[in-house]
Amino acid sequence: MLKFQILGTGCAKCNNLADNAKEAAETLGEAVEIEKITDLNEIMTFGCMTTPGLAINGQLVSQGKLLKPDQIMKLIKPSAGE
C-alpha cells in the first residue's frame, strides 16, 4: 500500500494535491492511504520549505507545486507492485 503525505496548511492547493494523488493511485490500481500533515514543524521534518508538498512513503518527492495526476503517476510507477 502506498502512503501519501500531503504537506500543507489545508489551503485549496493542498486539497487539490490530495485529490490528484488519490486519482493517480486509483488509475494505477494502487491501494493508497492519504495523510494530511498541517503542522509546520512536522512539515519541516520532511525538508519541505514550500507548500504544498508531497511525500510518498515518507520520502519528499515534490514541494511548492500542484502536481497533476499524470505527474504523480510517474513518481509512483517505480513503486507499483510493491
Residue 10 belongs to what domain range? 2-79
pLDDT value at position 81? 43
Domain harbouring 69, CATH code: 3.40.30.10
Rounded Cα distance, 30 and 41, in Å: 30
- Clarify whether 48 is annotated catalytic: no
Rounded Cα distance, 45 and 37, in Å: 11
Active-site entry in 2, 6, 7, 14: 14
pLDDT value at position 78? 63
Query: What percent of the chain clears pLDDT 70, i.e. is strictly above it?
Result: 94
How many folded domains does the chain comprise?
1
Active-site entry in 11, 12, 44, 80: 11
pLDDT value at position 76? 82
pLDDT digits (tens, 9 = 90+) for 8-42: 998 999 999 999 999 999 999 989 999 999 999 99
